[in-house]
Structure 1
């Protein structure tokens, strides 16, 4: 049996995808691979593998302890992906960005959730053979599709009366495309818009002042329920007709997989990274005007909604727990052999 140490503080900040991805993996391995892998959280014990999910400085110092085994780093972000997320003044921003890459270089091997990050890491001087792509996944027991009757009950429960509902999920920050989401709500008053998420990092969030004004006084058809617990978030996907993520920068959002798992059609700003992981599984739109056109089309076409519901279900099957647990098991055993 392999001994694996998980190092993470990702679950201390609510409403961020890094925490969701970390919790999903720990639960998967604990439930499905407990006979092959012994997993401990934030324990400095002798191990075959130490898997770092966050880049806390005490974790960086621990990489100098050889008894922790082979060091695996999870790449949830790069310096350029933090632009538009947090306001970090100079010179602290440059120092932090340098630290991020220094942390990744302390690892024996890196895991990325999107293959488009491999050449970007190579540009920072990290060898391609030291990087592996393993996609995110979500639990089908936590994110599931409700019946048509149950979906109607959920709308009544949460007080949403409009016929067509568009959902966005994630931190409230400029990078997530919130200003476009707000603009679409203004242009389409007959559609209910919901953004489930909050200011996870408070006032240092990029665009905080302007976004806070809208959150406190939104248009009548725009709802901000705040950071929603994962056991309630499934309700929001099920009561919605379309999931919309207008982000300008992403890795592999957990919210997309959550949408797939609930059979909810997905509309995305068409970023370069998406074709590499979910090509043809979503409705693409290059800007706010195309998002407007696609939402109008989806609202008026039950056939289009039905098609992308089927697409979502098919995509969810591909990113299943059954498939991913085998991938992670094989990866850990391979890395343990490399370590020896």
Structure 2
């Protein structure tokens, strides 16, 4: 049995997609692939494959130990994708960004969740042959379409009328997520209930914290900020949504979109190049506030369009399902094991 050790603090910060992606992979390995792989977490004994999910300095240090076997790094972000998320002083930011790339260069193999990041890693000096694209995925056991009774019950719990059109967005409250446009769209559509399920995962270090704290403390009447929501409750928010809206300016492969797809909820996103490589055709899009607003109005007035994108969300959820990704991860880890043995990295 192949020994895989995961080094991760991805679930130490609530409300971020990195933690969700990590939990999904661990669940898959310990349920679907339990007979092939023996998985440990944050252990310092010998392993055949060591998969680094976060870039903690202690992990960087132990990557030099020969007992680590073949080293695999998961790229959930690049320096440029951190802009608008975490606010750091200039010198500290430069040092941290260099460290991020140095960590990735330490790896024997890199996994990216979006293929457009392959070229960007190459520009940082990483060999393209060392980079593998494996998309994120969502388990249907965690995110699924609930019954109408369940949907109605949750609406009643939130005091939302059953016939009220609801738009849900989720993620960290930060500039990069397009929260300002989300607020502006709520103001432009007072007859729609808007909900943002998420909060300040990094507290006052969040870029624009003071600005967004004022908005959260005094939001438009039809906009509710929930704060950080546990994943087991997030499924209920996605189910009461007539439309899922994520107006982010920059993403890798947002778990929140996959979770919405998995609940068969129609999706509206900002028109970003990075989405075209992974989910093009499954979602509605708009380049700016005006186009996003026009899409919202078209959906509200056109039930057939809603049905079309509900069907497309269901199709997308099959493409990025646990069943589909189980084989991809199995093949990947087996390949890495064989490479490691040939190179003498695995004893």
Shift of 1:21: 0.3
Which residue number corresponds to residue 143 of structure 1? 143
1:265-319 deviation digits (Å, cap 9, x = unpaired): 0000011100100010000100011010000111111101110000000110111
Which residue number corresponds to residue 320 of structure 2? 319
1:145-176 deviation digits (Å, cap 9, x = unpaired): 01233322221122222610000010000000
Cα distance in 1 between the residues matched to 2:232 and 2:159: 18
Cα distance in 2 between the residues matched to 1:181 and 1:243: 11
Deviates more, 1:145-154 or 1:299-308: 145-154
Which residue number corresponds to residue 218 of structure 2? 217
Which residue number corresponds to residue 72 of structure 1? 72
Which residue number corresponds to residue 305 of structure 2? 304
Which residue number corresponds to residue 37 of structure 1? 37
Cα distance in 2 between the residues matched to 1:332 and 1:6: 13
Q: How many residues get paired?
A: 340
| SS at structure 2 position matched to 1:248 | coil
Question: What's the TM-score once normalised by structure 2's chain length?
Answer: 0.97
| SS at structure 2 position matched to 1:6 | strand
Which residue number corresponds to residue 55 of structure 2? 55
Which residue number corresponds to residue 114 of structure 1? 114
Cα distance in 2 between the residues matched to 1:265 and 1:45: 46
1:50-104 deviation digits (Å, cap 9, x = unpaired): 0000000000001100111100000000000000111101100000000000000
Correspondence 1:193 to 2:165: no
Shift of 1:113: 0.3
Cα distance in 2 between the residues matched to 1:145 and 1:323: 19
| SS at structure 1 position matched to 2:333 | helix
Unaligned 5+ segments in structure 2 are 342-347
Shift of 1:36: 0.2
Which residue number corresponds to residue 287 of structure 1? 288
| SS at structure 2 position matched to 1:193 | strand
| SS at structure 2 position matched to 1:277 | coil
Cα distance in 1 between the residues matched to 2:115 and 2:151: 35
Which residue number corresponds to residue 236 of structure 1? 237
Cα distance in 2 between the residues matched to 1:289 and 1:207: 23
Which residue number corresponds to residue 158 of structure 1? 158
Which residue number corresponds to residue 345 of structure 2? none
Which residue number corresponds to residue 20 of structure 1? 20
Cα distance in 1 between the residues matched to 2:197 and 2:154: 15
Cα distance in 2 between the residues matched to 1:323 and 1:183: 38
Q: Where does structure 1 differ by over 4 angstroms across 4 or more consecutive aligned residues?
A: none
Which residue number corresponds to residue 129 of structure 2? 129
| SS at structure 1 position matched to 2:38 | strand
Cα distance in 2 between the residues matched to 1:103 and 1:229: 30
Cα distance in 1 between the residues matched to 2:58 and 2:24: 24
Cα distance in 2 between the residues matched to 1:76 and 1:3: 23
Question: What's the TM-score once normalised by structure 1's chain length?
Answer: 0.99
Cα distance in 2 between the residues matched to 1:159 and 1:26: 36
Shift of 1:204: 1.1
- For the aligned residue pairs, the C-alpha RMSD in angstroms reads 0.8
Shift of 1:323: 1.1
Cα distance in 1 between the residues matched to 2:32 and 2:265: 27
Cα distance in 2 between the residues matched to 1:275 and 1:327: 21
Cα distance in 2 between the residues matched to 1:280 and 1:208: 34
1:226-248 deviation digits (Å, cap 9, x = unpaired): 11111110000000100000000
